[in-house]
Amino acid sequence: MIDVTFLLLLYFMVTTVLAKPEDRLSPTLHTQRDSAVSSASDFQPQIVEVMRIGDAPGYRLGASIFRDKAALTAALRGLPKAPGVFINVHDDVDVAYAVAAVQAARDAGFEQVTYVPAK
Amino acid sequence: MRFVTARERKRTLDIEVTPMIDVVFLLIIFFMTTAQFARMTRAELALPLELGEQEAAPQEAGLVINITREGEIIVSDQSFDLAGLEQLVREEIQLHPDSPPQQLKLLIRADRNAESARLNEVVRLLQSLDVGSARLATEVPR
């Protein structure tokens, strides 16, 4: 019985350790209350569009288009951090691209990252 | 009267097995319970492969919203439509009357291959309820 008990313990310990490690990103959400307040803001919003550009998904920042996260991160590093950044996600791209854009903004040093669903 | 001499007395080291078995059983119960709880709250999804914020001690979210590749919304092993999810979030807000809904922390676990349309619908719903932030779960690449 002790053998079986130890095997069970070993099984549950190993399966717990083998679970995929998870982390999280915490973008703010642009609430209706914020929308009313932000109209009075002095800052020009910096917006990253996550959308299909041609056949493939990509990122648009102003007039620039990026196909991968590394290039987007590099471009975001050069922007002022105080106004924050809006990640405007269109419906037809995969979640992976939306989350990658949030991660790129965080990696570039933005504290204020706002997730905005495209209309 | 016969006395036992020192040589006759067997010097054995007794190991108490009973407390060890108790501890082992407690450990098994702990791992079984946590595994079952994790299975209930966290659906099997391919999360976006990102590092995340790498916080030392991330706060646990109360409500975990899973979005599958097909766009199905699953909370605690049950499938919900948007109306059902709205009801759940309202209940979660009512559970914390001291904190405003802007500070309500939710965890959204969305499959990386799902279209953002469903995630956007969930975010719009949270926005309409004045929820100020949500955590997006990622899978840390090994």
Domains of chain A: total: 1
Q: What is the pLDDT of residue B119?
A: 94
Residue A97's identity, in one-letter code, is Y
Please report whether residue A10 resides in a domain: no
> Above 0.95 for ipTM, yes or no?
no
Long-range contacts from A62-71, C-beta under 8 angstroms, 24+ separation: A69/A100, A69/A101, A69/A103, A69/A104
Query: Closest-CA residue in chain B for A10?
Result: B28
Please report whether residue A5 resides in a domain: no
Q: How far is CA A71 from CA A66, A82, A105, A110, B110, in A?
A: 6, 21, 11, 16, 24
Please report whether residue A59 resides in a domain: yes
Which candidate in A1, A3, A92, A99 is best for mutational testing of the B interface (most B CBs within 10 A)?
A: A99
> Looking at domain B63-136, does it have CATH number 3.30.420.270?
yes
**CATH assignment at residue A64:** 3.30.420
pLDDT above 70 (res B58): no
pLDDT above 70 (res B61): no
The segments of chain A whose pLDDT lies below 50 read: 32, 36-37, 39-40
Domain coordinates of chain B in residue numbers? 13-42, 63-136
The predicted-structure confidence for B78-124, as pLDDT tens digits, reads as follows 999 999 999 999 998 888 877 777 778 789 999 999 999 999 999 99
User: In chain B, what percentage of residues exceed pLDDT 90?
Assistant: 37
Confidence band, pLDDT 50/70/90 cuts, at residue B57:
low
Q: What is the pLDDT of residue A100?
A: 95
User: Torsion-angle region of residue B130: left (phi > 0), alpha (psi -120 to 50) or beta?
Assistant: left
* Residue among B35, B52, B110 whose CB faces A23 most closely: B52
User: Which secondary structure element, helix H or strand E, spans residue B21, and what is its range?
Assistant: helix B17-41
Q: What is the pLDDT of residue B118?
A: 95
The predicted-structure confidence for B80-91, as pLDDT tens digits, reads as follows 999 999 999 999
* Mean of the per-residue pLDDT values of chain B: 83
Q: 3-class DSSP state for residue B92? A: helix
Query: Closest-CA residue in chain B for A20?
Result: B139
Please report whether residue A79 resides in a domain: yes
Q: State whether B116 and A89 contact (CB < 8 Å).
A: yes
Please report whether residue A19 resides in a domain: no
Name the residue range of residue A61's domain: 25-117
